[in-house]
């Protein structure tokens, strides 16, 4: 960490939770969009970055930039220390046993592809891959590809009308044929928090591997991979207040050892001859080519930032935002919430009778309010709720009660205007 970044963190270390102070750490939030103060409610797609993250990358490029793991000169050594230091920060953040269990990827999507394409080589015809009906395409399509290559079968845990896993369905689907359970911790559309810890225990009892898509979980609560006891876990830096272009695959060392490499090239080898190539040790076996070094540094800074915050206070603040949104939603005529699970993060998907989701998005944008509309890369989920898409407001800890009110005041206005 740079001194500048540490100074920025200190601003956020205000207790009790001071959202206005926190907002000062995010320079992008202090701007007008279409003549109105920006209300950024598209955090599920990508979250904003605190100054400490931006400055850590700036510092890296100004003072340390070089390629890593070459041992050639001082800058290279500094870059390597920054890069491996960031890996250690991820290890600590997830409470993984060893830093070699942390593999850098481009993001959640690539992390899941690393596992699915590797397992495709050992899956047998008739083996089953278990996913849920609320998965993002990133946790569906790689498994479909693995199934196609191996003859395995994709099985889907159904949902109830509130957007929770249908009670008892998982247990019914789980069998000795199940080779992997690949499940999202939190739905990006519904906000539903799945009981993954219990599900992992059940899957492990019958000898299945387990992968958790934690892309939408980590921005809202801490996850301890040893407590979860998952074999693999994936997340993206850019949703966790870090830069784009980098993410993480966590894997238990023995599971990663058993998995074949994803890509071939530099870094991932031990010895190359034209007759035969042997693989490097973990984690480098899965890191072919020059990695995203500055982005790793930025993610490390994001984790430092999060660690300095009072996360229980954040959770409370976010739950209060959600409660307010759910209350105000009742006052908009024709508005229906999609995803009303008991346990959920502050994500509000909705439709309004007589209005297309994309029109809602455009009209809100005219008032400086950023949400996402569409299928959210969860088409099977859209089919389940029989909608072409939804409008989705996804909140972060830097959002305020006033912003929730602004959203619903704007929605009231749009509804009056258009319906």
Task: Give me the sign of the Cα torsion angle 277, 281, 285, 288.
Answer: negative
Residue from 56, 164, 188, 406 in contact with ligand 7TS (CB under 6 A): 188
Could you tell me how many residues of this chain bind ligand 7TS (CB under 6 A)?
17
Vertex 340: Cα angle to 334 and 341 (nearest 5): 175
Residue from 8, 43, 48, 109 in contact with ligand 7TS (CB under 6 A): 109
Q: What span, in angstroms and rounded, lies between the C-alpha atoms of 134 and 140?
A: 10
Q: What span, in angstroms and rounded, lies between the C-alpha atoms of 182 and 213?
A: 7
Phi first, then psi: give them for residue 84, nearest 5 degrees: -75, -25
Report the nearest approach of ligand 7TS to the CB of residue 72 (Å). 33
CB closer to ligand 7TS out of 394 and 415: 394
Residue from 113, 216, 340, 415 in contact with ligand 7TS (CB under 6 A): 216
Report the nearest approach of ligand 7TS to the CB of residue 46 (Å). 7
Residue from 200, 215, 352, 381 in contact with ligand 7TS (CB under 6 A): 215
Residue of 260, 205, 255 whose CA lies nearest to 231: 255
Report the nearest approach of ligand 7TS to the CB of residue 396 (Å). 13
Residue 192 lies near ligand 7TS (rule: CB under 6 A): no
Residue 184 lies near ligand 7TS (rule: CB under 6 A): yes
Residue of 48, 95, 20, 14 whose CA lies nearest to 313: 14
Residue of 279, 221, 213 whose CA lies nearest to 250: 213
Residues 35-94 that bind ligand 7TS (CB under 6 A): 44-45
Whether 230 sits among the annotated catalytic residues: the reply is no
Report the nearest approach of ligand 7TS to the CB of residue 294 (Å). 18
Q: What span, in angstroms and rounded, lies between the C-alpha atoms of 412 and 90?
A: 43
* Helices 293-308/3-12 angle, 10° precision: 30
Report the nearest approach of ligand 7TS to the CB of residue 45 (Å). 3
Residues 131-150 that bind ligand 7TS (CB under 6 A): 136, 138-139
Q: What span, in angstroms and rounded, lies between the C-alpha atoms of 135 and 190?
A: 10
Report the nearest approach of ligand 7TS to the CB of residue 6 (Å). 28
Distances, alpha carbon 47 to alpha carbons 176, 218, 413, in Å? 40, 12, 27
Residue from 55, 127, 213, 403 in contact with ligand 7TS (CB under 6 A): 213
Residue 107 lies near ligand 7TS (rule: CB under 6 A): yes
> In angstroms, how far is CA 52 from the centroid of its own chain?
20
Residues 147-176 that bind ligand 7TS (CB under 6 A): none
Max CA separation in the chain (angstroms): 72
CB closer to ligand 7TS out of 46 and 229: 46
> In angstroms, how far is CA 65 from the centroid of its own chain?
27
Report the nearest approach of ligand 7TS to the CB of residue 175 (Å). 26
Q: Determine whether 2 is exposed, middle or buried from the number of CB atoms within 10 Å of its CB (0-12, 13-18, 19+).
A: middle
Residue 373 lies near ligand 7TS (rule: CB under 6 A): no
DSSP string, 202-254: HHHHTT-EEEEE-TTTTTTS---HHHHT-SEEEEEGGGGTS-SS-EEEEE-HH
Stretch that binds ligand 7TS, among 208-216, 259-267, 317-325, 405-413 (CB under 6 A): 208-216
Residue from 376, 396, 399, 415 in contact with ligand 7TS (CB under 6 A): 376
Annotated catalytic residue, options 230, 377, 418, 419: 377
Count how many residues are written for the chain.
419
Report the nearest approach of ligand 7TS to the CB of residue 105 (Å). 8
Residue from 108, 117, 178, 280 in contact with ligand 7TS (CB under 6 A): 108
Residue 113 lies near ligand 7TS (rule: CB under 6 A): no
Q: What span, in angstroms and rounded, lies between the C-alpha atoms of 43 and 195?
A: 23
Q: What span, in angstroms and rounded, lies between the C-alpha atoms of 386 and 404?
A: 27
Catalytic residues: 377
User: Residues in the site for ligand 7TS, rule: CB under 6 A?
Assistant: 44-45, 107-109, 136, 138-139, 184, 188, 213, 215-216, 236, 372, 376-377
């Amino acid at each position: 960490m740079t001194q500048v970044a540490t100074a920025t963190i200190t601003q956020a270390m205000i207790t009790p939770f001071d959202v206005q102070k926190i907002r000062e750490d995010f320079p992008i939030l202090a701007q007008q969009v279409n003549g109105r103060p920006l209300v950024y409610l598209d955090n599920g797609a990508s979250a904003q970055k605190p100054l400490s993250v931006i400055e850590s990358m700036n510092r890296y490029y100004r003072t340390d930039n070089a390629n890593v793991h070459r041992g050639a000169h001082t800058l290279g050594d500094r870059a390597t220390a920054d890069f491996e230091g960031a890996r250690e920060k991820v290890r600590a953040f997830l409470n993984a046993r060893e830093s070699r269990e942390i593999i850098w990827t481009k993001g959640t999507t690539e992390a899941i592809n690393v596992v699915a394409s590797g397992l495709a080589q050992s899956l047998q015809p008739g083996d089953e891959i278990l996913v849920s009906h609320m998965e993002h395409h990133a946790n569906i399509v790689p498994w479909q590809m693995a199934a196609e290559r191996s003859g395995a079968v994709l099985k889907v845990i159904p949902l109830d009308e509130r957007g929770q896993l249908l009670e008892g369905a998982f247990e019914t689907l789980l069998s000795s044929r199940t080779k992997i359970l690949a499940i999202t911790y939190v739905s990006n559309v519904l906000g539903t928090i799945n009981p993954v810890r219990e599900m992992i225990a059940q899957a492990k009892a019958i000898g299945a591997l387990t992968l958790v898509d934690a892309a939408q979980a980590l921005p809202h609560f801490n996850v301890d991979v040893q407590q979860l006891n998952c074999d693999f876990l994936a997340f993206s830096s850019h949703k966790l207040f870090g830069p784009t272009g980098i993410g993480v695959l966590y894997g238990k060392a023995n599971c990663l050892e058993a998995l074949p490499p994803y890509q071939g090239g530099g870094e991932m080898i031990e010895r190359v001859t034209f007759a035969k190539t042997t693989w490097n040790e973990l984690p480098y076996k899965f890191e072919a080519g020059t990695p995203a070094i500055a982005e790793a540094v930025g993610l490390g800074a994001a984790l430092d930032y999060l660690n300095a915050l009072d996360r229980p206070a954040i959770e409370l603040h976010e739950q209060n935002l959600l409660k307010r949104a759910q209350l105000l939603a009742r006052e908009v005529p024709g508005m229906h919430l999609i995803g009303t699970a008991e346990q959920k993060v502050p994500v509000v998907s909705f439709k309004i009778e007589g209005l297309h989701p994309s029109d809602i998005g455009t009209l809100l944008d005219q008032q400086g309010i950023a949400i996402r509309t569409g299928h959210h890369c969860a088409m099977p989920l859209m089919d389940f709720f029989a909608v072409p898409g939804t409008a989705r407001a996804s909140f972060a800890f830097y959002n305020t009660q006033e912003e929730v009110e602004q959203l619903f005041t704007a929605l009231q206005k749009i509804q009056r205007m258009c319906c």
